[in-house]
Structure 1
């Protein structure tokens, strides 16, 4: 059996051609393919084992687990590639020029990729952003608001309330201002403005607003909600309701909508008026304007009238 294998290798090695001092044969190409496949399969298996091992360590939070997984994956793939090069018997000194050119190409062409890789590792190390956080990132059209689902090698996956998934490069999160709604605490306050007409009983209004807040799901009892008198506006008395939630990933606008719906029904039931913008015009010389109007009216009448 061994002789048959050796004879087959000798025949495959004989089929080929020479380039300078190098002999390229069918066996050499087949050997490279086999080693590359083995390196790829082993790298995948060991990386999966490393990920499972880190996920079973309960004393580490999710960010630390991800950091360990990424470092272990990089180390496994680097070791697998070095082992593959050693098995193939490639002389690294002969690749000095090629490696220099390849490194230069990486420096110019893949600098963003490596920059995002390092930025992702830094984000995981300082734990400023981690999976499950609710963040708002400024872009050209406004703010991308959503929950961090995954921190990848190149980008962070953020899922919004309308189930859109944004892939934000890691470098952007390092260089731009980011609002992390759950960095040190998941309790978030929401300000809800409302206006009532002048002449309304503010004590009754405050009571109705607090009842509307307390009857809304997801609103916390502590920190306790409140009602602030913010201004005497030109058309209304302006108040602001302050409510607290601890699940910002479920959205903020729906809480505001629920509270305002309850306020609208309560005000309608108790006769509290929500005014609209209006202006009063006072004419100081009304008699003079009347004389001018009468003169214009007389001029427009026919002569035979």
Structure 2
């Protein structure tokens, strides 16, 4: 019994050592090689050397000592199962990473959501289980037939759930919404998309309020306003009015200086310059719009807040007046002598 125990412990130590080397290599080359084919494959091997080393040790033990045929057959089933599941695990990780890499490389905005990851994993592991069952001598054809017949009954019982699954796939593949998009539904719900699962889509409103969970079918059948497409940045227009006594060149210069300072402080991702556009000679003021860009839809509210505060403060220090509405009322003398 001493030899099999030594073999098992030695195999386990070898597997742990190999796994540590893989993790060390991943950390060392994470920033340099991330996204390359070699990095994807090495990353997919994490944790696998331990199980494969144990399989090798068990195989060595089976061929070293005399054991009953029934026990040897059981060990062979265990060995084959571990090998297939290890290969399946590596394949699932590799395929998922390769698909994600190709999407990023092609420039497509197809989101890698929980739904896509779950479907991909289930399909690959299902193939691995079928291979294992075939090795055990269990015919796969009757199982598939039973699954087909039973699937019809399940489909009838789970119509709403299946509708949500296919609606979620439709949303992802049609690229109507993506992760981190800010959307508004015709039913009134709005927020930033955080995930698309097999049944629900979750969004977070502006300001980080409570999470809103919406069935995929409801989103697919709603009118959607996507504020992140075709571009994530949006245009903000802030109306301002100054008195007729103001120097308009000075007003424009000061306003743009304030806008640039606020943008640099609150939304440094914006590269587009702000602009001032005079448009109306009103009754009490000369009106204009301050046009700025916000990198994300929900950043516009803080940007407006900070800009208005800074603009009022700067106008007061520069002596620029924002007039109140003025009305002159002329009343005829009704009295007669």
TM-score range, shorter chain: 0.5 to 0.7
Distance 1:176 1:4, change over 3 A: closer
Change (3 A) 1:177 1:126: same
Deviation per residue, 1:87-134 (Å, 9 max, x gap): 8989679979x84xx745643x532321221121122223332223x3
- Partner of 1:59 in structure 2? 102
In structure 1, C-alpha distance between the alignment counterparts of 2:196 and 2:90, rounded to whole Å: 17
More helix by percentage: 2
Larger radius of gyration: 1
Match of 1:163 in 2: 208
Query: C-alpha displacement at 1:187, in angstroms?
Result: 2.9
- 1:92–1:51: structure 2 CA closer, same or farther, 3 Å change rule? closer
Of 238, 245, 269, which residue of structure 2 is paired with 1:192? 238
Distance 2:89 2:325 in 1: 64
State how far apart, in whole Å, the 2-side matches of 1:268 and 1:3 are. Answer: 95
Structure 1 residue 221 displacement after superposition: 6.8
Does structure 2 retain, via aligned residues, the 8 Å contact 1:54–1:68? Answer: no
Instruction: Decide whether aligned partners of structure 1 residues 287 and 68 sit closer, same or farther in structure 2, where only a CA change above 3 A counts.
Output: same
2:221 matched residue in structure 1 = 175
- Cα distance, 1:227 vs structure 2: 0.9
CA distance in 2, matches of 1:222, 1:79: 49
Pairwise CA RMSD: 4.0
Equivalents in 2 of 1:63, 1:285: separation in Å? 75
Residues 51, 69 of structure 1: 8 Å contact kept: no
CA distance in 1, matches of 2:220, 2:249: 48
| Structure with greater strand share of residues | 1
* TM-score normalised by length of structure 2: 0.58
- The aligned length equals 247
How do 1:124-135 residues align onto structure 2 when only pairs under 5 Å count? 124-132=172-180, 134-135=181-182
Q: Match for residue 245 of structure 1?
A: 294
SS in 2 for 1:63: coil
1:215 corresponds to which of 252, 257, 261: 261
Query: How far is 1:82 from its partner?
Result: 7.3
Describe how 1:1-305 pairs up with structure 2 within 5 A: 50=92, 53-55=95-97, 57-61=100-104, 63=110, 65-66=112-113, 69-76=117-124, 99=150, 103=152, 106-107=155-156, 110-132=158-180, 134-138=181-185, 140=187, 142=188, 144-146=190-192, 148-164=193-209, 165-216=211-262, 217=264, 218=267, 222-246=271-295, 248=296, 251-287=299-335
User: CA distance change for structure 1 residues 202 and 94 in 2, over 3 Å: closer, same or farther?
Assistant: closer
Q: Offset of 1:192 from its aligned partner?
A: 1.3
Query: What is the TM-score of this pair, normalised by structure 1?
Result: 0.63
Contact 1:214 1:221 (C-alpha < 8 Å) held by counterparts: no
Determine if contact 1:155/1:170 at 8 Å carries over to the other structure: yes
C-alpha displacement at 1:54, in angstroms?
0.9
Unaligned 5+ segments in structure 1 are 6-37, 292-305
Cα pair distance change 1:222/1:265, threshold 3 Å: same
